[in-house]
A = this chain, B = another copy of it.
Amino acid sequence: MRAYNFCAGPAALPTAVLEKAQSELLNWQGKGVSIMEMSHRNKDYVAVAEKAEADFRDLLNIPDNYKVLFLQGGATLQFSAIPLNLLGKNNQADYISTGIWSEKAIKEAQRYGNIHTIDATFQKEGKTAIADSSTWQLSENASYVHYCDNETIGGIQFNEVPKTTAPLVVDLSSSILSAPLDVSKFGLIYAGAQKNIGPAGLTIVIVRDDLLDQTKPEIPSLLKYSAQADNGSMLNTPATYSWYLAGLVFEWLKEQGGVEAIHQKNLEKANLLYGYIDQSKFYDNPIAQPNRSIMNVPFTLADSSLDKEFLKQAEAAHLLNLAGHRSVGGMRASIYNAVPLEGVQALIEFMEQFATKHG
């Protein structure tokens, strides 16, 4: 049987997607070969890749003046590629910090230019919140403003698109496709695939045309957005199988009714879990209500010495990967698009039983 998988990433994929991939793994559409044994220049493969892009554009209503790139290296390689491509002549950017992943982006960007950082979090009645962007002291000469929409480790998420004059660059790794998005508000959007898109090893970048050509001369060719855009993300062999799997996820998402429909389901799952935690005296979540992530729900037990027992019993109940990130401890339930409502219900039922027994 398939378990409920609350892993933060590489994360759960829709069972229907895996079944389809399984059925055609050795012989894709009667062609006699696996799709992973096909050249990326093969016309059949190119059609698969193009359909994946078209479906993705459709799901997010991506305007024509944006390129969609299917790259490798994860969000972490983009931490380098973004400043190398976009710092421009000013060699300056603003970076907003809301947690560990924004800090990682900052640390890498500081190696290439002048980075002005703004800690946007504050404490509000014992909970962590994000300050409204109208209160931020942004630089005058920033080439762009970078932030991380959803901090996968901290479970803290923006509930607005920040208002800035410089182009907005966002790490959407753990929230892309979870809710509708107005792409036209951004200069560049990037996301590692391994949460809501597909398997690890694929990274999607959405970049506005006018930002394509600001590259420093010494940047590695493969990191140049303009070169990748000119070559349809096939400057070299892309991660063909991951791209194909992402396409299957996009098809699945359209069958679910698209991003608006999955957003309603995600809200239902998140409200159910936060609602249960809030009324419980045994569990606690550290984030202020308006900034709670709908994808990653960290929580602590009243007695942290019970953590190991909680994880052990959860695993026995087929509720997997609930340990918090190794840097923060506690628990975390990641409830991405592919985690069904039934999984959240089963988790809450287990949490109730555990609290009754140990509370």
- Contact surface of A with B, Cβ cutoff 8 Å: 1-3, 5, 7-13, 15, 18-19, 21-22, 25-27, 31-34, 36-42, 72-77, 79-81, 84, 108, 111-112, 192, 194, 199-202, 217-218, 220-223, 235-242, 318, 320-321, 326
Contacts and interface: CB of A to CB of B under 8 A. Distances in A.
| Main SS class of interface, A | loop
A39 B7 contact: yes
A91 B353 CA distance: 65
Nearest to A1: B32
B5 A320 contact: no
Contact of A73 (B1, B22, B73): B73
Nearest to A173: B237
B74 A201 contact: no
Contact of A22 (B9, B26, B326): B26
B34 A192 contact: no
Scoring A12, A39, A108, A112 by chain B CB atoms within 10 A of each residue's CB, the highest score goes to A39
B76 A40 contact: no
6 shortest interchain CB distances as A-B pairs? A3-B32, A201-B239, A80-B220, A76-B236, A72-B72, A22-B25
Contact of A2 (B3, B26, B240): B26
A320 to B, nearest CB: 6
Contacts of A217: 111
Given A200-B239, A218-B111, A34 B13 contact: yes
B10 A15 contact: no
A223 B84 CA distance: 14
13 contacts: A7-B38, A10-B37, A10-B39, A10-B40, A13-B34, A41-B326, A72-B74, A108-B220, A199-B240, A200-B239, A201-B202, A201-B239, A201-B240
A237 B9 contact: yes
Contact of A236 (B7, B39, B74, B218): B74
A25 B36 contact: no
Nearest to A235: B76
A36 B199 contact: yes
Nearest to A112: B218
Nearest to A79: B221
A34 B249 CA distance: 15
A141 B350 CA distance: 67
A103 to B, nearest CB: 14
Nearest to A4: B32
A328 to B, nearest CB: 14
Contact of A33 (B12, B21, B84, B220): B12
Contacts of A26: 2, 15, 18-19, 22
Contacts of A22: 22, 25-26
A73 B241 contact: no
A155 to B, nearest CB: 17
A186 to B, nearest CB: 23
A241 B111 contact: no
Contacts of A242: 201, 239, 241-242
B37 A221 contact: no
A343 to B, nearest CB: 12
A316 B247 CA distance: 29
